[in-house]
């Protein structure tokens, strides 16, 4: 994928054969040859990420920090492999840090949710999908170097504001880049079928809290939008907001 805005790259990576769900949009924020990476995908993601960076003319060591929007497996599964290659710091919200570090047990996926996900997959792919889900649950812990609380600002690309947006998980984060009016929404919001709406409530730790966070975040206004799943736009995001978020 191209550089969608100056210094902002979206790398859509596959979940791997037999895995449920669509692509994962990993963001790279590049300035002066240094990378701030947002989320780390699954273990199957690192090859595609490194190939993309090679196309940028950058080695893995260009990654200086990895900001994790939340502890779910498809956001941290590839973390350790990337850390071994890059030596980057890991930033995450303090309320998700213990799960990422493995000192608090990772919440399991409710059986009914697994059944619903598998039911949406073609029958011939379900065995592979089940195996992939089991593999996904075996995530190696990683040390969180900086525990965030929300409200911090990173001096990259004119400033990156870190927004605490709990609900999907207790420590979910979004990132806002005022200089280009861009929201990196993690799993709080999703662009599908031309509408930016709340992510499926069944994946949230607290669906009501997640919706309240989504309404608060969209009230600040932004023109560009990147969701971790689904699509992205570089302008016109306000016109795509679901009425459920603005009413």
DSSP letter string, the chain: --EEETTEEEEEE---TT-SS--EEEEEEEETTEEEEE----GGGHHHHHHHHHHTT--GGGEEEEE-S---HHHHTTHHHHHHHH--EEEEEHHHHHHHHTSSPPPPPPHHHHHHHHHTS-GGGHHHHHHHHHHHT-PPP---SEEE-S--EE-STT-EEEEE-TTSSTT-EEEEEGGGTEEE-TTSEEEETTEEEEPPGGG-SSHHHHHHHHHHHHTT--SEEE-SSB-EESS-GGGGB-HHHH-
What pTM was estimated for this model as a whole? 0.90
Supply the pLDDT for residue 201. 82
Supply the pLDDT for residue 244. 93
Supply the pLDDT for residue 20. 47
Supply the pLDDT for residue 22. 62
| Token output for 132 | 């992939």
Supply the pLDDT for residue 76. 94
Supply the pLDDT for residue 44. 72
Supply the pLDDT for residue 10. 96
Distances in whole angstroms, Cα of residue 223 to Cα of each of 29, 73, 143, 181, 238? 17, 29, 34, 5, 6
pLDDT per residue, tens digit, the chain (247 aa), is 579 999 999 998 876 544 445 689 999 999 999 999 999 998 877 888 999 999 999 999 999 999 999 999 889 999 999 999 999 999 999 999 999 999 998 776 666 666 766 676 777 777 776 766 666 566 789 999 999 999 999 999 999 999 999 999 999 999 999 999 999 999 999 999 999 999 988 788 899 999 999 999 999 899 999 999 999 999 999 999 999 998 7
Supply the pLDDT for residue 157. 98
Compute the distance between CA of residue 239 and CA of residue 208 in angstroms, rounded to an integer: 24
């Amino acid at each position: 994928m191209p550089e969608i805005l100056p210094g902002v790259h979206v790398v859509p990576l596959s979940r791997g054969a037999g895995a449920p769900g669509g692509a994962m949009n990993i963001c790279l924020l590049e300035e002066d040859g240094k990378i701030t990476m947002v989320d780390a995908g699954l273990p199957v993601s690192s090859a595609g990420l490194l190939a993309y960076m090679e196309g940028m003319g950058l080695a893995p060591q260009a990654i200086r920090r990895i900001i994790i929007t939340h502890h779910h497996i498809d956001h941290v599964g590839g973390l350790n492999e990337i850390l071994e290659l890059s030596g980057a710091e890991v930033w995450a919200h303090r309320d998700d840090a213990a799960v990422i570090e493995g000192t608090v047990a990772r919440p399991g996926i409710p059986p009914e949710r697994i059944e619903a996900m598998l039911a949406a997959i073609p029958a011939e792919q379900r065995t592979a999908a089940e195996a992939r889900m089991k593999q996904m649950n075996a995530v190696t812990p990683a040390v969180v170097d900086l525990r965030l609380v929300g409200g911090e600002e990173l001096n990259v690309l004119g400033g990156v504001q870190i927004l605490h947006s709990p609900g999907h998980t207790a420590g979910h984060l979004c990132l806002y880049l005022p200089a280009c009016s861009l929201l990196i929404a993690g799993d709080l919001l999703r662009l599908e079928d031309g509408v930016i709406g709340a992510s499926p409530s069944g994946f949230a730790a607290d669906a009501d809290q997640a919706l309240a966070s989504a309404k608060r975040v969209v009230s600040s206004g932004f023109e560009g939008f990147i969701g971790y799943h689904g699509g992205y736009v570089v302008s016109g995001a306000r016109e795509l907001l679901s009425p459920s978020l603005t009413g």
